Structure formats: structure tokens, C-alpha cells
Amino acid sequence: MAAKMLRRSVHFTPTSCSWLNAVEGFFVKPTRRRLKHGVFHFVVDLQAAINRFIREYNAENPRTFIWKANPDDIIAARNRRFQTLESIR
């Protein structure tokens, strides 16, 4: 009897996508707290619920965002990646 081969694929999330995880984590909160059990007949009502959540969230959890990355380093990294892509072509 031949052994069955399992088809599996591994997906790696690039570290450059870590900001996406933070954004996704933020947007899951209103879904769980307010939007999940809500019924919205109009887009305006949904927008009002989202805006109300953001106002309340910011009032409860005030945090100042401080950009730590140096713009020159970001541009240099972009240029290195662009050169790598060009060398592959």
C-alpha cells in the first residue's frame, strides 16, 4: 500500500508586513465589540458606529505615535530591493 502524500504549503509573512498585523488587530476590535451583533440598514449607520468606536477607543487608550524610522534608511532599503529586482530580470 503506497503512503499518501500530504500536500502542504508553507507561507511566510515578510517582516515588512508587520504593520498589516497591527492594522488587522485594530480592526478586529470594533468587529467583536460593536459591529458583530449590530444590524445596519444603511451605510451611514455603519459609518456612525465605526466613528463612535474610534472616538471611544481614542478616549480610553490615548497613545501618541512616534515615527522611529529614518526616511533616508527607508529610501536606501527601497533602492537596494529595486536593484535586486533589476538584477534578476
Spell out the domain ranges in the chain.
Answer: 20-88
Please state, as a whole number, how many other Cβ atoms lie within 10 Å of the Cβ of residue 40: 13
Question: For every residue of 23-63, which 3-state class applies, written as one string?
Answer: HHHHHHHHHHHHHCCCCCCCHHHHHHHHHHHHHHHHHHCCC
Residue 69, pLDDT score = 86
Measured CA to CA, the distance from residue 89 to residue 82 in angstroms comes to: 11
Q: Tens of pLDDT along 5-57?
A: 666 666 666 666 666 777 777 778 777 776 777 788 899 998 998 898 889 88
Residue 61, pLDDT score = 80
pLDDT band for 4, please (50, 70, 90 cuts).
low
The reported pTM is 0.46
Q: Tens of pLDDT along 45-55?
A: 989 988 988 89
